[in-house]
Structure 1
Amino acid sequence: MQLLVVCLGNICRSPMAEGALRRRLERAGLAHVRVDSAGTGDWHVGEPPDRRAIATAARHGVDISGLRARQLQAADYRRFDWLLCADLQNLRDVQARQPPDAGARIDLYTRWSGDAMAGGDGAIPDPYTGGEEHFEHVWSVVDAAAAAAVRRLRAAGTSSGRD
């Protein structure tokens, strides 16, 4: 099973989601599930996550400082089982770029995980222009989605990756 979390620039939401999901998977004995993140845009390629994202994750015991932003590539549609998008615009962008030979399925991360806490359209809000409280809110959303993802993967047995 291979999961790719996708947001806009790959410096806030998706690296925080990647960190939360990795920690939850490891604690659940599901560390064999591969998790990565990417952005639809190329503005931050090669950069570490936003300092506020790093600080927020660190307050929750997760180190994402070693991650580096990368842009979604055509090969990702073949390499990963699921491309899990942060919001509806990312979902539309990822769907629009989907190559004809894509094997990955695409969904909103919170909807795919079955996170009952996600409200409204299931979007993970973009904290980039906000303050610390916005990053904390995003952490609560991505961590709840990570917990829900673990429940989903356990229920599915994670064998096929295409449930």
Structure 2
Amino acid sequence: MSGEPLKKAQESAAESPRALRDLIGYHLKRASAWDLHNANAALEAAGVRTVPMSVLLTITEKPGISSAEICRILRMQRANIVPVLAELEARGLFLREADPDDNRIQRLFPTAKGREEAQRMLGLISAHEERMLAGLTMAERDELRRMLAIIWREDGEG
């Protein structure tokens, strides 16, 4: 990160109390809040927020996944996925099919419209990330992604 973006970041951080400036978690929270706000703004054109987008992208990339599996992957509470799935289903973005081995389990499959919308959402969020990370080189972006994954990965996840 160099030039004007670095200067602005340093000036903004300098306004924070020193005790907070020294905490990595403080910087993670500020970056996360900024990202979430702007990501949701970017997704307004698709009429969706980040969580439903994440669910739809998961269904699209893993056709036949169950809602329980989505919850495990995205670290969602099972009760929280119900309204998200209802919203996506009402928009015709996926279909449910009973699992052939266990009728209690519903498998989720994207529709053609769901795949198209997932690509549209991914384009919107990618453009947001490009703006957000414009001050970083590709190597810095890769390193940031690698380090953040180490932080949020739970023990035993490889």
TM range (shorter): under 0.3
Higher helix proportion (structure 1 or 2): 2
Whose radius of gyration is greater, 1 or 2? 2
Given the two structures, how large is their TM-score scaled by the length of structure 1? 0.25
Given the two structures, how large is their TM-score scaled by the length of structure 2? 0.26
